[in-house]
Structure 1
């Protein structure tokens, strides 16, 4: 049980922040000042403790940080009752792996609440950092491996924006991407590829796309890079090694597609995960600039205006990059040395370019999309540091310095430095709507929420009775709306949920007009509710309907 009864955080835990700043500062100064890397176990234990302790206020905060988090929790809970994807759950842009991971934890006995997802978000992020660190070590960057990780550690530790703290759907795909880069760094070091490693690479590549469809271009870049490694290191056995890689990918996807086909949802998988997501920008991001060139030119401004703190991570790396380019330009000898081992870094640069293209392609510019930059930027930081004079090492502390200034300013101005005080979480863990729902149903029964308030599934521990748990694609006008709405009503007919909640209010995300988006405006859905449900209560504009007892048979 989370120990909320003996530890609390208010809005200004200054001492807590200061101690962790000092701890990270001590690690940083040791490595820079002494030009000596800490033992691996000491370094990893230190950054694990610092990032974990700084996340403790969030671990204790049992409220949704981001709507995506509630969606994933509801999906994970529902799959525990009906594990067939697209019969019970449509994960939209998030791949099934993110939801199935939560289902697995649920089956192990964990309660699917926000405490769990906040810890899981940190655990996956830390796993990525460990893999990035091991990659840097395999590249023989020694102490620069530790220095290169420091901006990311500072960002993960002291960043306060909910977009980076919740269980975002990119986090698991980043772990698999980091694993693939680690394997490539091993091949770069050992100058050979083991067939077992190649099989793991193929399986990981296949899973990346089942974690996040937008990560497909990034998986593609690493896949092409893998083929280049095979050609470089095992030219005479290229087709044998390429076949092993291909079998790893096809084995996962073949098993997945066969599973979908056996339950009659293969067409749904293609339509809702591939086709519908390909049309997402056209259907829901109509106001974004259309020209890719314009978006590319605006990209630094996009990060600055939408970064919500990640821009502090980029600053030291950009400065080091500028120094690196100028240094290489004037030192031809160093340039020749770099060319000899250029292919790995060419892949890393191509990866950065593909991340930019991927973010531009979505057009939504959600801050957590920028986390795809952490992996390649940490690798490049290691390269820059290893190529520059030692006095440049101090630039790597810039991210920490900015966050320390936030601590100083927040303390002096008394504006507060912690956005997640424990007492707010304890006061609001079960909302008035959640309490009312549980008057007419019990955990384990099906619930349907019309709107974008998936936290009610989590509060009540009731699985979702429809595929689409946040109603955007059914309620808002777009090219596929009719298909989604028909499925929505069909799902309700199949599951006969105990409770239907019309959560459209003036505060609903994207659908803030009850007169326009209320369920009564959709004839098929309105008929289903009027026939089988009775309005029991209205709480803060949210209408709660219970299924008529005679219609439950």
Structure 2
């Protein structure tokens, strides 16, 4: 089955025309199911079912993204870091003691899903997980709109998001990063909490308040950066619960308690698991303390933030024709807030706060990382949909006025994206699917593969997490890269001592010194190599012997294993 699917994609890869035609046919199908009536009717209309719509959205995402999904190369070091964490979780059955830097356990745990199906945790499977999470995020936003508007209108309102996520050629949007999982949790929480209320603002589904709280509780432990959005959601919906003046106070307190209980349950569960693993203090140092240190060292001045976002939106392919036209459409709708349908108008403060909080969480780390732009996408799409859905469904408008608004919405928020994608150069990864598999395993991994045994572990000095992915070996230490041991900070000594303790407690079979030309960030061996730190050099000299050097990476093997496998020296 897998080989048959691969052969289909190889056929599509043999010429950009095949890719181009199938991709645009897929998108045209989404466009048709979005714009034409979906209510039960005669002939073909009866087939325009919501399930068909969701399936076609998924196919459109696959049709445009598969050349990048199938590329067996690292797009971003963060991608390899998360995959390494998932590999370690799966093979060593440790979850809460892994140090993923600024991402929490709920960010990398979804990457273990392919392993549950017997598949490797690599770039292909990781990007498939990213695609499914992106698709699920779109579906939950559509379901949220569908709660307030007709199905056909909900499909139109989510079209700008479908266009962006389908057309994008940005590696940062296709790879699995620390943004997809919190956005997914956020979209589920938003849908659960909004649909817990009826159109009069009264709670009718208490269970959804509880489940919404559970997903809010996952946000701080997926990425600390999105914690403000979780707090915002909790405060807003607690306020919405207590605004039910027609309900007795005791009932409102019980409803609020369900929301709070859901959040505290997930927060308590995660913290308890970390504490039970004996890693609570380590987690505090790695995740909280270093997160604040990271945010305190800014790469740009505050005055440079908006120009930087403008520039980044051009760098991340497809963001510019989405972000700025939709922002302009929102700005143009602001003077007409009073004309928004009354039942929907109460969502505008939430949409506005989420929109502003998105800018805050992108600004907070002080970095110019293109994948941070993902945090703009859902809040912008939500506020845009609330505004125009509320204006279009205003009962005081004539049919022609509604058609005019729909036309304006599509012309500003959808047409520029279609034009941008249609007029651009062809997908650069088309035609490379076959060769990408050949380069998926590099010289270092090829050296290690014949020597590996079940249960082996690997530690990399430097920032080259791709070796964990290529070899499928779990980490021998808590972290997959050693930035915090190499770069001076107030906590450097703590991380160095912890690293040494991990190396002494369970010495990994293989040790790689990935310092040299061609490696990410750390290239000067005279400054950053492991033997510049005397304590680590002593450990390596005592337990390891260098067996080779490939790609400016020194390869070491533990001496006791080397005695069992002397062929490693040949």
TM-score by length of 1: 0.89
Structure 1 residues 240 and 39: alpha-carbon distance in aligned structure 2, compared to 1, 3 A threshold: same
1:64 pairs with 2:74? yes
1:271 pairs with 2:285? yes
Structure 1 residues 540 and 300: alpha-carbon distance in aligned structure 2, compared to 1, 3 A threshold: closer
2-side partners of 1:219 and 1:456: how far apart? 35
Decide which moves more: 349-358 or 374-383: 374-383
Task: Describe how 1:375-454 pairs up with structure 2 within 5 A.
Answer: 375-386=378-389, 387=391, 389=401, 390-394=403-407, 395-396=409-410, 399=414, 401-410=416-425, 417-418=428-429, 421-442=432-453, 444-454=455-465
Decide which moves more: 233-242 or 116-125: 233-242
1:148 pairs with 2:163? no
Structure 1 residues 118 and 263: alpha-carbon distance in aligned structure 2, compared to 1, 3 A threshold: closer
- State whether residues 445 and 498 of structure 1, in contact with CA within 8 Å, keep that contact through their aligned partners in structure 2: yes
Provide structure 2 residue ranges, at least 5 long, that are not aligned to the other structure. Answer: 40-44, 393-400, 565-570
2-side partners of 1:183 and 1:50: how far apart? 26
Q: Deviations over 1:423-468 (max 9, x none)?
A: 2312201111100122433353011111111111111111110111
Q: Deviations over 1:46-68 (max 9, x none)?
A: 21211122222234323322222
> Which residue of structure 2 aligns with residue 537 of structure 1?
548
- State whether residues 188 and 344 of structure 1, in contact with CA within 8 Å, keep that contact through their aligned partners in structure 2: no
- State whether residues 180 and 201 of structure 1, in contact with CA within 8 Å, keep that contact through their aligned partners in structure 2: yes
Between the two structures, name the one with larger relative contact order (CA 8 Å, sep ≥ 6). Answer: 1
Structure 1 residues 6 and 30: alpha-carbon distance in aligned structure 2, compared to 1, 3 A threshold: closer
1:490 pairs with 2:492? no
Q: Deviations over 1:88-141 (max 9, x none)?
A: x21111110233233354244232122211111100000010000000111225
- State whether residues 197 and 204 of structure 2, in contact with CA within 8 Å, keep that contact through their aligned partners in structure 1: no
Decide which moves more: 252-261 or 475-484: 252-261
Structure 1 residues 47 and 12: alpha-carbon distance in aligned structure 2, compared to 1, 3 A threshold: same
The Cα shift of 1:421 comes to 2.2
The Cα shift of 1:34 comes to 7.2
The Cα shift of 1:178 comes to 0.6
Moved over 6 A (4+): 33-37, 550-553
> Which residue of structure 1 aligns with residue 300 of structure 2?
288
Q: Give the secondary structure class of the aligned counterpart of 1:357.
A: helix
> Which residue of structure 2 aligns with residue 467 of structure 1?
478
Provide structure 1 residue ranges, at least 5 long, that are not aligned to the other structure. Answer: none
1:168 pairs with 2:168? no
Q: Deviations over 1:312-347 (max 9, x none)?
A: 22233123223323445xxx5x26x55x65332201
2-side partners of 1:280 and 1:310: how far apart? 26
2-side partners of 1:111 and 1:550: how far apart? 26
> Which residue of structure 2 aligns with residue 131 of structure 1?
140
> Which residue of structure 2 aligns with residue 99 of structure 1?
108
- State whether residues 11 and 417 of structure 1, in contact with CA within 8 Å, keep that contact through their aligned partners in structure 2: no
> Which residue of structure 2 aligns with residue 510 of structure 1?
521
Task: Describe how 1:163-202 pairs up with structure 2 within 5 A.
Answer: 163-190=172-199, 191-202=202-213
Q: Give the secondary structure class of the aligned counterpart of 1:153.
A: helix
1:82 pairs with 2:92? yes
- State whether residues 167 and 421 of structure 2, in contact with CA within 8 Å, keep that contact through their aligned partners in structure 1: no
Structure 1 residues 420 and 80: alpha-carbon distance in aligned structure 2, compared to 1, 3 A threshold: farther
2-side partners of 1:319 and 1:53: how far apart? 29
2:273 is aligned, of 242, 249, 259, to 259
Structure 1 residues 383 and 264: alpha-carbon distance in aligned structure 2, compared to 1, 3 A threshold: closer
- State whether residues 14 and 407 of structure 1, in contact with CA within 8 Å, keep that contact through their aligned partners in structure 2: no
Structure 1 residues 226 and 279: alpha-carbon distance in aligned structure 2, compared to 1, 3 A threshold: same
Structure 1 residues 221 and 157: alpha-carbon distance in aligned structure 2, compared to 1, 3 A threshold: same
> Which residue of structure 2 aligns with residue 44 of structure 1?
54
Decide which moves more: 74-83 or 186-195: 186-195
The Cα shift of 1:392 comes to 4.1
- State whether residues 69 and 175 of structure 2, in contact with CA within 8 Å, keep that contact through their aligned partners in structure 1: no
2-side partners of 1:265 and 1:29: how far apart? 52
Structure 1 residues 78 and 550: alpha-carbon distance in aligned structure 2, compared to 1, 3 A threshold: closer
Task: Describe how 1:344-383 pairs up with structure 2 within 5 A.
Answer: 344-383=347-386
Q: Give the secondary structure class of the aligned counterpart of 2:186.
A: helix
Structure 1 residues 408 and 253: alpha-carbon distance in aligned structure 2, compared to 1, 3 A threshold: closer
> Which residue of structure 2 aligns with residue 342 of structure 1?
345
The Cα shift of 1:484 comes to 1.2
Q: Give the secondary structure class of the aligned counterpart of 2:243.
A: helix
